[in-house]
C-alpha cells in the first residue's frame, strides 16, 4: 500500500459506512466542541432505547449472570452494545474495524445454541460483547494497527486469544476493534493518534487524551460501548488508558495470557515484551475475563504460555501493602497524590498494615528499558514505514534510536536487565511488615498525571514501564474521584528535583484537567495474577467503606 491521502479517505469512508444510518447522530445533534464532558451522552441522544440503556449500564458480573441464565439474550445485548459503540465512535473517534453485522449474526448463533443445549450457555463469556485492540487478528478481516503500510492486508488466521474467546462464548471479535496509535511500543507515545484513523479523545474531557496505546479501548469501555476491552501493554499501554478513563486495567505477567497470533511491530524483541490485558468498568469483569482465558488452556495453543491453571485458592485474607508515594524522579500532580492518599487512608482505617516502600534505582530502570526499546536503532520501524513512505508521526519519541547495537551488546543488556530484576526482588523481599513478613502488594501512582492535554504529553512512563522491565503483574484501580480545582490546587510550595520534574509540574492546571478520573496502581508478585485480583478486591472494599 502506498502512502496517500486518497487511501486514508477511502478507509475512513468504509469505516463510516459500517455504522447503520439509524445509529448515526445528526450533525446538529452532536455535542459542540465546547461541551467537553460527553460521558453520559449515550443516554440522551435517542439512539438507545431505555431497555438498551439498562443493558449497557449493567455491571459486567451481573450482565454475565443474566446472559448465562437466559434472562437476557445475546442478540438484545449485542445490539445494545453495538449502538453504544457507534455513539462512542462518533463522540471520540475510538474505533477502527467495525463488525456490527457479524456481531449480530454471532449473537443469533449463540442464542440458537443456548436453546438447543437446554438453556445452557456456550461458555463462561456467553453472549458477552468484548472489543479488541487492533492487533488481535481475525481471519478474513483487515488488521492494520493504524499503519498506512498495512492498509488492505487481510489476516489469514485468528489470534490464539480470539480462538479462546470464541470458545468461551464471547461476541467480542465480531463487534469492533479499538484504536491503536501508530507504533507506540518502542517509542513512548502516551496518546492514541495516527495517520490512518486520526485522534481519539477522552469522553470525560475531550480536550484531554484517552491515553495510549490502547486508548480507543479506554474511551469505548468508558462510554459503555463494550463490556470489556482487550489491550496490550509494553510500557503501560493497558494501564494508562485505564487510568485516564477511570477504569480497571490489568497488565499480567508476560505470557500468562496468550499473545500468539497477535500482530505487532518489534516482533522478536525478547528483552522487554508486550503483554495483553483487560480494561473494564468493574473488577469482576477483569476477574471473569482472566479466569476464562486461563481456563481455555492457552498453553495448548501458545508455546510461550506457561501451564498454570487458574488458582482459586490464591487469595489473601489480609494482605500487607507497601506504598511508594513517588519515585524520587518525577513528583505526581496534586490530584494523583490525593488519589493515593485516599486509598492508603481507607486501607489503614479498614485495619490493613501499610509499609513505606523505598524507590529502587528508578533512573537505572528507565535507562535499561529505553535501551531495550531502541536496541535495533529504529530499523523495525523504518522498514515498516518505508513500505508505504509513511512519515514518522510527530509525537513519536526517537531519542536513543540512532544506534543499532550488536548481538553481543544486546546479550549484555539482557544480563543487566536480569541482574536488575534480581536486585529488585531482593528489595521487595526486604520490605517487611511489623511481623517480619514481606509485603504482598505495592501501591503507587500509575502516572505523574491524570489524563493530559492532547499533544502535551509529559513523556514519562516509568511509573508503569518499570514493571514491564521487572515483569510484575500490575492493576490500575479507579478510586471514584476526579480532578477538582478546589481539592487539587497547584502545589506552589513544591521544589522540583530536575528540569523534567519542573516541566511536568508546570504542565498541571486543575482547570484544564477538570473531571479527569483518579486511580492508583497495584503491583504484585510475578505470575500471581490471581493474588493481584484478590488484593484489588481488598482495595476496592476499603475505598467503598471509606466513602459510605
* Element of type H or E holding 206: strand 205-209
Using left for φ > 0, alpha for ψ between -120 and 50, and beta otherwise, residue 527 falls in left
- For residue 187, pLDDT over 50 is answered with no
DSSP three-state, residue 344: helix
Q: Are 121 and 169 in contact (CB under 8 A)?
A: yes
Looking at the chain, how many residues does it have? Answer: 548
pLDDT digits (tens, 9 = 90+) for 443-456: 999 999 999 998 88
- The reply to whether 213 belongs to the active site is yes
Q: What is residue 399's predicted lDDT score, i.e. its pLDDT?
A: 55
pLDDT per position as a tens digit, 515-532: 999 999 999 999 999 999
Give tens-digit pLDDT for 96-140: 889 899 899 999 999 999 999 999 999 999 999 999 998 999 998
Helical pair 160-167 and 283-295, crossing angle rounded to 10 deg: 100
CA distances from 38 to 49, 219, 481 (A): 18, 11, 17
pLDDT (tens digit per residue) in 334-392:
999 999 999 999 999 999 999 999 999 999 999 999 999 889 888 888 888 888 888 87
What Rg, from alpha-carbon coordinates, does the chain have? 22
Catalytic residue (one of 213, 274, 519, 534): 213
Of 277, 271, 201, nearest to 33 by C-alpha is 201
Find where cell 543488556 sits: 413
Cα–Cα dist 128/219, whole Å: 18
From 11, 133, 166, 417, active-site residue:
133
Q: Name which residue leads in pLDDT, 63 or 388.
A: 63
- Cα 78 to Cα 19, 61, 86, 103: the distances in Å are 14, 16, 12, 7
According to the model, what pLDDT value does residue 455 have? Answer: 84
Give CA–CA dist 219/226, Å, rounded: 10
Model confidence band, residue 213 (pLDDT cutoffs 50, 70, 90)? confident
Q: Is the predicted pLDDT of residue 141 greater than 60, yes or no?
A: yes
pLDDT of residue 198: 86
In angstroms, the CA 419 to CA 430 distance is: 17
pLDDT at 180: 39
Q: Is 544 left (phi over 0), alpha (psi -120 to 50) or beta?
A: alpha
Residue range 470-501, pLDDT digits in tens: 999 999 999 999 999 999 999 999 999 999 99
Active-site residue identified among 192, 237, 375, 449: 237
5 CB-near residues (< 8 Å, 6+ apart): none
Mean pLDDT of 61-82: 97
Amino acid at each position: 500500500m502506498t502512502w496517500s491521502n486518497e487511501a486514508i479517505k477511502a478507509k475512513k469512508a468504509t469505516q463510516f459506512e459500517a455504522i447503520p444510518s439509524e445509529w448515526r447522530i445528526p450533525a446538529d445533534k452532536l455535542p459542540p466542541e465546547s461541551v467537553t464532558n460527553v460521558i453520559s451522552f449515550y443516554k440522551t441522544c435517542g439512539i438507545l432505547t431505555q431497555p438498551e440503556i439498562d443493558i449497557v449500564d449493567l455491571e459486567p458480573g451481573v450482565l454475565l449472570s443474566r446472559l448465562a441464565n437466559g434472562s437476557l439474550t445475546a442478540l438484545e445485548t449485542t445490539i445494545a452494545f453495538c449502538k453504544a459503540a457507534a455513539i462512542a465512535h462518533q463522540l471520540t473517534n475510538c474505533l477502527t474495524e467495525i463488525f456490527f453485522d457479524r456481531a449480530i449474526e454471532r449473537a443469533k448463533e449463540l442464542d440458537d445454541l443456548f436453546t438447543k443445549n437446554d438453556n445452557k450457555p456456550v461458555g463462561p463469556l456467553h453472549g458477552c460483547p468484548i472489543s479488541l485492540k487492533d492487533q488481535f487478528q481475525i481471519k478474513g478481516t483487515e488488521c492494520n494497527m493504524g499503519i498506512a503500510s498495512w492498509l488492505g492486508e487481510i489476516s489469514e488466521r485468528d489470534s490464539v486469544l480470539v480462538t479462546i474467546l470464541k470458545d468461551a462464548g464471547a461476541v467480542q471479535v465480531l463487534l469492533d476493534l479499538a484504536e491503536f496509535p501508530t507504533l507506540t511500543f518502542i517509542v513512548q507515545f502516551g496518546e492514541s493518534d495516527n495517520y490512518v484513523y486520526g485522534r481519539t479523545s477522552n469522553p470525560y474531557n475531550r480536550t484531554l487524551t484517552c491515553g495510549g496505546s490502547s486508548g480507543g479501548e479506554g474511551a469505548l469501555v468508558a462510554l459503555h460501548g463494550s463490556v470489556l476491552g482487550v489491550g496490550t501493554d509494553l510500557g503501560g499501554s493497558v494501564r494508562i488508558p485505564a487510568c485516564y478513563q477511570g477504569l480497571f486495567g490489568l497488565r499480567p505477567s508476560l505470557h500468562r495470557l496468550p499473545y500468539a497470533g497477535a500482530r505487532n511491530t518489534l516482533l522478536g524483541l525478547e528483552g522487554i515484551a508486550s503483554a495483553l490485558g483487560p480494561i473494564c468498568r468493574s473488577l469482576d469483569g477483569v476477574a471473569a475475563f482472566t479466569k476464562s482465558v486461563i481456563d481455555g488452556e492457552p498453553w495448548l495453543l501458545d508455546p510461550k504460555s506457561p501451564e498454570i491453571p487458574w488458582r482459586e485458592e490464591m487469595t489473601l485474607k489480609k494482605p500487607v501493602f507497601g506504598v511508594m508515594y513517588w519515585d524520587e524522579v518525577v513528583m505526581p500532580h496534586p490530584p494523583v497524590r490525593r488519589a493515593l492518599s485516599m486509598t492508603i487512608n481507607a486501607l489503614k482505617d479498614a485495619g490493613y498494615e501499610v509499609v513505606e516502600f523505598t524507590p529502587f534505582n528508578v533512573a537505572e530502570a528507565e535507562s535499561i528499558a529505553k535501551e531495550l526499546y531502541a536496541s535495533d536503532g529504529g530499523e523495525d520501524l523504518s522498514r515498516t514505514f518505508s513500505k508505504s513512505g509513511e512519515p514518522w508521526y510527530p509525537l513519536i519519541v526517537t531519542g536513543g534510536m540512532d544506534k543499532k547495537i550488536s548481538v553481543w551488546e544486546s546479550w549484555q543488556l539482557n544480563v543487566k536487565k536480569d541482574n536488575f530484576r534480581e536486585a529488585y526482588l531482593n528489595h521487595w523481599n526486604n520490605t517487611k511488615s511489623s511481623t517480619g513478613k514481606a509485603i504482598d502488594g505495592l501501591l503507587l501512582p500509575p502516572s505523574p498525571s491524570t489524563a493530559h492535554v492532547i499533544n502535551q504529553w509529559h513523556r514519562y512512563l516509568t511509573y508503569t514501564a518499570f514493571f514491564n522491565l521487572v515483569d510484575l503483574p500490575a492493576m490500575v484501580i479507579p478510586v471514584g474521584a476526579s480532578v477538582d480545582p478546589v481539592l487539587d490546587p497547584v502545589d506552589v510550595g513544591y521544589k522540583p528535583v530536575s528540569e523534567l520534574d519542573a516541566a511536568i509540574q508546570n504542565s498541571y492546571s486543575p482547570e484544564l484537567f477538570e473531571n479527569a478520573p483518579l486511580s492508583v496502581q497495584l503491583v504484585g508478585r510475578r505470575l500471581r495474577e490471581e493474588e493481584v485480583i484478590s488484593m484489588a478486591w481488598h482495595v476496592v472494599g476499603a475505598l467503598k467503606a471509606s466513602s459510605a
